[in-house]
Amino acid sequence: MMPSTKGKDRLVEEYLAAVADACIGLPPVRREELLDDLREHIAVARSRLNHPSEADIRTILDRLGEPAAIAAEARANEPPATVARVPAWTADLQVTRRASPLSVVVVVAALTFAAFLIAMVVGIVVFLVPV
């Protein structure tokens, strides 16, 4: 009796899932390309066998290598991340620093006092101007 195709497909899907898990950190597009390449390689290898058994599928997967090794090789072949360059004209700009809590309190107090003075002036003008 031959093993079911579902069992063989399950082996392949588990293998590909392990590769996908090991490739976390690669750009998603690169990870999908790698998985597609592996699927194609597995399909070609299976098509060369008349009636591949579960042992044949395991041999195909073993020849591909461990998922962690595939992921490590993919990472090694990945170009380094690019660093954003700062335009040259920004070199003359001064870096602003954050306001200290004391300066924030002083500014709020000054604005509050200014609002109080304006309210006083408006109140005096309204009281003195005849209607």
pLDDT band at 6 (very low <50, low <70, confident <90, very high): confident
3-state secondary structure of 24: strand
Q: Which residue has the higher pLDDT, 88 or 118?
A: 118
pLDDT for residue 2:
47
Q: Which residue has the higher pLDDT, 102 or 61?
A: 61
44-84 pLDDT per residue, tens: 999 999 889 999 999 999 999 999 999 999 988 887 666 56
8-43 pLDDT per residue, tens: 889 999 999 999 999 998 899 999 999 999 999 999
pLDDT band at 1 (very low <50, low <70, confident <90, very high): very low
Give the distance from CA 20 to its chain's centroid: 15
